[in-house]
Copies of this chain bind each other. A is one copy, B any other.
Amino acid sequence: MSDPIKIAVDAMGGDNAPQANAEGALAAALEAQDVEIHLVGKTEAVKACLPEDLPPNLHLVPAKDVITMEDHPAKSLRRKPEASIAVCGNLLRERKVQAIVSAGNTGAVIAASLFAARLLPGVHRPGIAVAFPSRTGTTVLCDVGANIQMKPIHYLQYAVMASAYCHDVLGVEEPRVGLLNIGTEATKGGSELRAIRTMLEEASEKGCLNFVGAVEGNHIFEGNMDVVVCDGFSGNTILKAAEGTGRVVMEQLTKAVNESIEEFSGTPEVAQAFGSAMEKLKAFTDYSTYGGAPLLGIDGCAIIAHGRSNARAVKHAILVARDFAKREVNAHILQRLEELTTKGAAT
């Protein structure tokens, strides 16, 4: 058996920490024998969330401090060198782990990751790749907030990096790549987007990626794309708008369902039937099914889990980290970037 993948998990980040993080780490350690988890946080608080006897592949690593959602990302890392995410970053920097997972302050996770791991050779900017549920599976959107000052080459690199991730971790043979725009016609979106489109088309013609054209916001969910590249501002607002819509629709649905159940209180089958339908819908909309979002482009692996992560989401994020490291996504990103250069597609 090969060596296990070593993963540092931030026990203290996120709205449900440390309970959900500890439970998720435990579940991942029990399920995946090929990982070795280092759960980083305030020892007493973390211990209180776990059974006395831990599986042999789950270790506790002390960290005295916590960076909260309100803290300034970069400044707080300097001010709180003993924060759990900083300790995770140190483990990655010292190559004691291959990956880190955190549901904490996204800015701080990015800052810690960039401090711990350089950018891969040739990469201009890192990008966060989020997998969305779609009609037919998942669509990866990149970037969703790491980069709001985009240049055309960033889009091309995101397309290539997200394709590698989508292929290796999500198992899509030849990921179809779309460029976010406000219309699908070639003339849309101004001169910069036209230049980006041309760049993606050229790279596609040279066989470096499978670019299929412009897409609009709704296409992300319709399952006819595997990867959509966009600027971090648009990507972040899409991510949050989709979550917001989903949440409000689910609230309204729950309200309507409860009213119907009350109306038909004499027929217990009604409540049963609703319960079963809601379960299925929740499984579809629950982001915890989709794991965390990798920060693509760094020489290491950092998985950003949702701030609201429950134990299941943390477990899935850990499994994404394992797959990312095990399937050598970074090696494939480097191959693809080199191919861009040798084929003259990245000029």
Which listed residue (B240, B264, B276) contacts A217, Cβ 8 A?
Answer: B240
Check: A347 CB closer than 8 A to any chain B CB: no
Instruction: Looking at the assembled complex, report how far the CB atom of A110 sits from the nearest CB atom of chain B, in whole angstroms.
Output: 12
Q: In the assembled complex, how far is the CB of residue A235 from the closest CB belonging to chain B, in whole angstroms? A: 9
A 176-194 binary contact with B (CB < 8 Å = 1; else 0):
0000101101010110000
Considering the chains assembled together, what is the distance between the CA atoms of A234 and B237 in angstroms? Answer: 7
Check A261–B249 contact: CB distance below 8 A: no
Q: A276 contacts which chain B residues (CB < 8 A)?
A: 256, 259-260, 263
Is the CB of A328 closer than 8 A to any CB of chain B? no
Q: Mark A235-269, 1 if CB is under 8 A from B, else 0.
A: 01111111111111111110111011101100101
Q: Which residues of chain B have C-beta atoms less than 8 A from A246's C-beta? A: 245, 249
**Is the CB of A273 closer than 8 A to any CB of chain B?**
yes
A130-152, CB < 8 A from B: 133-135, 145, 148-149
Contact A269 B264 (CB under 8 A): yes
For the complex of A and B, list the 6 residue pairs with the smallest distance between their C-beta atoms, beginning with the closest: A217-B240, A218-B244, A217-B241, A217-B237, A221-B244, A256-B280
Q: Show 19 residue pairs from A and B whose CB-CB distance is below 8 angstroms, ordered by the A residue.
A: A134-B248, A135-B248, A135-B251, A180-B237, A218-B243, A219-B240, A221-B244, A221-B247, A222-B244, A238-B238, A252-B284, A253-B281, A255-B280, A256-B276, A259-B276, A264-B269, A267-B273, A270-B273, A273-B274
Q: A182-B236, A218-B243, A261-B273 are in contact. List 20 more A-B contacts (CB 8 A).
A: A135-B251, A148-B189, A189-B233, A217-B238, A218-B241, A218-B247, A220-B241, A221-B248, A241-B245, A245-B245, A249-B249, A253-B253, A256-B276, A257-B277, A259-B276, A259-B280, A260-B276, A263-B276, A267-B267, A270-B273
